[in-house]
Structure 1
Amino acid sequence: MRYIDLFAGAGGFSEGFKRAGFEPVAFVEVDPAACFTLKTRHSYHYLKENNKSDIYIKYLKGEINREQLYSIVPSHILESVINLSISDENNSKIFQIVEKLIGRKDIDVIVGGPPCQAYSLVGRARDRNGMRDDPRNYLYIQYGKFLKKYSPKLFVFENVTGLLSAEKGKHFKNIQDDYRKLGYVVEHVKVEAKEFGVLQNRKRVIIIGWKKDLNFSFGRIKEQSSEEYEVGKIFKDLPKLSAGEGKDKYCNYVDGINDYLRFAKIRNGFDVLTQHITRPHTEQDKEIYRIAVEKWKRSKERLDYNDLPERLKTHKNRNAFLDRFKVVVDNVNYSQTVVAHIAKDGHYYIHPDIEQNRSISVREAARLQSFPDDYYFEGVKEGKSRTAAFKQIGNAVPPLMAEKIAAAVKYLLPNG
């Protein structure tokens, strides 16, 4: 069953649907760095399916460059990644590219979720106008134009739960009304990534619409249960690093695969570790990190910003965001939500090992989002991807969650 991924980002949603047996036709994404990530991942799937995984491993090890990797895969693989914003100005061009890729074939499913900052409760709290003037509030209208154009059997729309309350529910009501007019039964459910086995407290709303003539049951999407694992499982096999250390390309594991890494398909047989790389920190930040880790280890309490010594307090805001320095605790079942702000600093994602005294690496963040270790996050320029990777990871749909949603959808679709 063929699908289009809108607002595709780094491809977490698509990775889950691909694992569940769906066939991607096109990815539409405005961020150039994320588009390179999509091209690299799509190249991985092509090479794996054609028994040429050794070529991809050479890329992960730095033995060939990105241009050489792309030269080996068919052109349509790269052309399926469409680096355009979804808008009235660009939609006709996007439609032309998609039609070139699929010919007369139908699109069965559309997946994706518009950027969520305009619906985020935190984003609205920080913005003077509650983000009411943000044009991203209306990207669901553009999503609807793709539904009208391709008339898929079903769509899956993911976003933050703040969508339900933004502008007193106006946008959510409009989404339901607009998509129902296009001939879809529209239902929604709140989900938490941890319910799908992701080691993260990530609350989302999933809106699913299906054609009225389908005998589709929404309830199966909610029927998730997983064995509980501790967050520390993602750290066990990774080399210890200090702030500013690590390798972008190939480095070695220090331990074998554990039960969680196997369950989540994070280590899946390739055993090529990349992007275990950390950002540098000031001495002041590292002192705060030590205080935060020590407080948790000593009393299982989070650091309150106001409890820091005065000489370490540089923020003027002493009334909000007092947990801005937060440890990714290793002996609990899920971490705090990984968000795109991790690209700006790592204060909210402090490594639990006080000896390493740093924020988490790119690979550790990717593992919290359930991305496999062979998933490489690109920058616009090859090899300059740490900040771009953090941003893509924070914005992504966890592949493990997407896979389980996709499997339920596939089971319920005709010919699934």
Structure 2
Amino acid sequence: MKQPIQVVDLFAGPGGLGEGFSSVRMADGDRVFKTLVSVEKEASAHRTLTLRAFFRLLLDSGKDLDPYFEYLQGGEHPRNREDVHDLWLEAEQEALRLELGGEAGNNALDERLQKGLDHQRDWVLIGGPPCQAYSVVGRVRNRGKKDYRPEEDKRHFLYREYLDVIAKHSPAVFVMENVKGILTSRVGKQRIFGQILEDLHDPIAATDRKAAAEATDPEERYTIFSLADSGVYYPRSSDDLFSDAPEPLSEEEYLSFVVKAEDYGIPQTRHRVILVGVRNDLVNRIKAPNLAQQLRMHRSDKKKQPTVKDAISELPDLRSGLSRGDSKEAWYSTIKRVAERVAHELRSQPSDHIEKSDLKRMDYLLRQVATHPYESLERRHEPKSQPRARVRGTDLEIWLKGAIPKDSWGLWFNHEARGHMEEDLARYLYCAVFAKIMKRSPIGTKDIHLDYLAPKHANWKSGKFADRFKVVLEEQPSKTITSHISKDGHYFIHYDPYQCRSLTVREAARLQTFPDDYYFEGNRTEQYVQVGNAVPPLLARSIAIKVLEVLEREKEENSHQPHSTVLEA
């Protein structure tokens, strides 16, 4: 029996990157990659990570999946069930709650890797160091803090914990993900991304694990590849494998490390920096230009690009909640009232930017909502197995179903609408109606011109809040799902005016391509944060397949063995 390739997942969050790697199977059904350890410090994300590790173990054991799905529907926790207790203990060994960057967390991880990692075989390191210090929003927030100094912000240097594992344990390949803002982030006057590339190229030298006078073995260094552009890698040529001072890349070439998720079958415009490092002994055998070609992911057909509607339309309709005095009757009455008020305001306040014909169409739809609101909607979906009404079959649809039993329907979890103030319901309703008619999201006061809808911000009309309220458009990929969705729903308004709400955790998860059997632990706010911070698992799967191709090719170069066959779903 062929042993799976070991994977170590650092800063794992709820496990999106690891899920993509774990999903790749050989033609005989065996998993190609097996997570040895995943590390996360946040409590609720760690619980999600552990539960998912248990689910995979249960799935591979051949046992019935009831212990998992019964727990999701309110049943006994797997840790308390004798029939699967051994699997739960194994899951706890896989998912570790550690804070890297401190002595205790670093030592615990190192001990686990020393005991469990087979250093005689190729293995893969994956993960994304925390991005708050690199994101544009985070940097703006930091500039507002008195006495803030980037060089004293340890979050800028958490990638060094990732680097430390590379230096100590020499993975054959690593995959590192971060926000696009890392390309322009500075510490002092220095761009930190150039330093990151240099450190990842020679991790042993960067972590001072050898005397300064002793040169690093060139084959222990790494070449860093782009997944989006086969012409860009660092260092540039094979000659640079043995160079102590490789030439820096240009700022334009930095952008070649940005992977645009919507180009690869993900229903979301998520742009992230993803670096793939390959150890130079492999690079020397395969050659850097060949590897660059092999690692480049093929873009999907834009005509077949999945949309928000493709991803979430089959989920049960829900009503929003009222932040005060919520009930089905109260919601119904509120929606009628705000719809009538917005329609009246629309008729009485002309717009300089919206055509009269479009205003009339918006008014008509608002009056339809006021006259015939959805009276039967629930605020929360109760998962319940029911016969399937139909079978859907696109690649995305099959992926999203996960391991939900084929003879069941209605097993959706984490699908509950949040509560909103009446004023925000009015704004959500208007914005969803606007998007339905105009096929775009409204832009600040230019499009949200009604006095009734103006937030109580002194500078609302200044133009600084152009993106304050945004609709997730049904016929396009979603905008980026971020952790900000945990704060409020203003940037993530559902496209259906009749539901008048923001996205649920499950809808956000589907746009992130988490399968329906993926359950998020914690309260709703914590669940939103986990989903927003994750790597889309379906994108991670595409990356994993590319990594596998590299490792298989390396074996072929060494032993002339044919490539193995990988299942595509």
Structure 2 length-normalised TM: 0.68
RMSD: 2.3
CA–CA separation in structure 1 for the residues paired with 2:439 and 2:507: 22
Aligned counterpart, 1:63: 75
Alignment CA distance shift 1:237-1:302 (3 Å): closer
Q: CA deviation at 1:285?
A: 0.6
Q: CA deviation at 1:329?
A: 0.8
Aligned counterpart, 1:162: 181
Aligned counterpart, 1:191: 259
Please say if 1:207 is aligned against 2:349.
Answer: no
CA–CA separation in structure 2 for the residues paired with 1:391 and 1:241: 21
Alignment CA distance shift 1:305-1:120 (3 Å): same
Contact 1:76 1:101 in 2 (8 A): no
Q: 2:521 aligns with which of 378, 387, 396?
A: 378
Q: 2:294 aligns with which of 216, 220, 224?
A: 220
Unaligned runs of 5+ in 1: 380-384
Contact 1:110 1:155 in 2 (8 A): yes
Specify the structure having the higher radius of gyration (Cα). Answer: 2
CA–CA separation in structure 2 for the residues paired with 1:79 and 1:250: 32
CA–CA separation in structure 2 for the residues paired with 1:262 and 1:223: 18
Question: Does 1 or 2 have the higher relative contact order (CA < 8 Å, sep 6+)?
Answer: 1
Letter in 2 for 1:296: A
Aligned counterpart, 1:4: 8
CA–CA separation in structure 2 for the residues paired with 1:376 and 1:401: 19
Size of the aligned set, in residue pairs, is: 410
Tell me whether 106-115 or 8-17 shows the greater mean CA deviation. 106-115
Q: 1:77 aligns with which of 86, 91, 98?
A: 91
Alignment CA distance shift 1:302-1:237 (3 Å): closer
Q: 2:123 aligns with which of 87, 92, 108?
A: 108
Alignment CA distance shift 1:253-1:287 (3 Å): farther
Contact 1:106 1:150 in 2 (8 A): no
Tell me whether 257-266 or 385-394 shows the greater mean CA deviation. 257-266
Contact 2:441 2:473 in 1 (8 A): no
Contact 2:16 2:537 in 1 (8 A): yes
Q: 1:330 aligns with which of 474, 477, 502?
A: 474
Aligned counterpart, 1:304: 443
SS at match of 2:143: coil
Q: CA deviation at 1:102?
A: 3.7
Tell me whether 17-26 or 185-194 shows the greater mean CA deviation. 185-194
Aligned counterpart, 2:331: none
CA–CA separation in structure 1 for the residues paired with 2:120 and 2:417: 45
Q: CA deviation at 1:54?
A: 2.7
Instruction: For 1:11-410, list aligned pairs within 5 A.
Output: 11-20=15-24, 21-52=32-63, 53-65=65-77, 67-68=79-80, 71-89=85-103, 90-102=105-117, 108-128=123-143, 132=150, 134-167=153-186, 170-182=191-203, 183-188=221-226, 189-214=257-282, 215=286, 217-226=291-300, 227-244=304-321, 245-247=379-381, 250=384, 256-260=390-394, 262-263=396-397, 265-271=399-405, 272-306=411-445, 307-311=448-452, 312-318=454-460, 319-332=463-476, 334-379=477-522, 385-410=523-548
Q: CA deviation at 1:72?
A: 4.9
Unaligned runs of 5+ in 2: 25-31, 204-220, 227-256, 322-378, 406-410, 556-562, 564-569
SS at match of 1:213: helix
Alignment CA distance shift 1:213-1:101 (3 Å): closer
SS at match of 2:259: strand
Contact 1:196 1:400 in 2 (8 A): no
Q: CA deviation at 1:243?
A: 1.1
CA–CA separation in structure 2 for the residues paired with 1:347 and 1:260: 31
CA–CA separation in structure 2 for the residues paired with 1:99 and 1:320: 52
Aligned counterpart, 1:382: none
Q: CA deviation at 1:321?
A: 3.9
CA–CA separation in structure 2 for the residues paired with 1:255 and 1:325: 36
Alignment CA distance shift 1:365-1:354 (3 Å): same
Structure 1 length-normalised TM: 0.91
Identity among equivalent positions (%) equals 35
Tell me whether 219-228 or 243-252 shows the greater mean CA deviation. 243-252
Letter in 2 for 1:240: D
Q: CA deviation at 1:315?
A: 3.0
Q: CA deviation at 1:308?
A: 4.0
SS at match of 2:281: coil
Letter in 1 for 2:48: T
CA–CA separation in structure 2 for the residues paired with 1:278 and 1:356: 10
SS at match of 2:485: helix
Q: CA deviation at 1:304?
A: 2.5
Letter in 2 for 1:127: N
Contact 1:185 1:209 in 2 (8 A): yes
Alignment CA distance shift 1:250-1:30 (3 Å): farther
Contact 1:289 1:350 in 2 (8 A): yes
1:55-92, CA deviations, whole angstroms, 9 ceiling, x for partnerless residues? Answer: 22222232323543673525232122111111142211
Contact 2:78 2:88 in 1 (8 A): no
SS at match of 1:98: helix
CA–CA separation in structure 2 for the residues paired with 1:293 and 1:98: 51
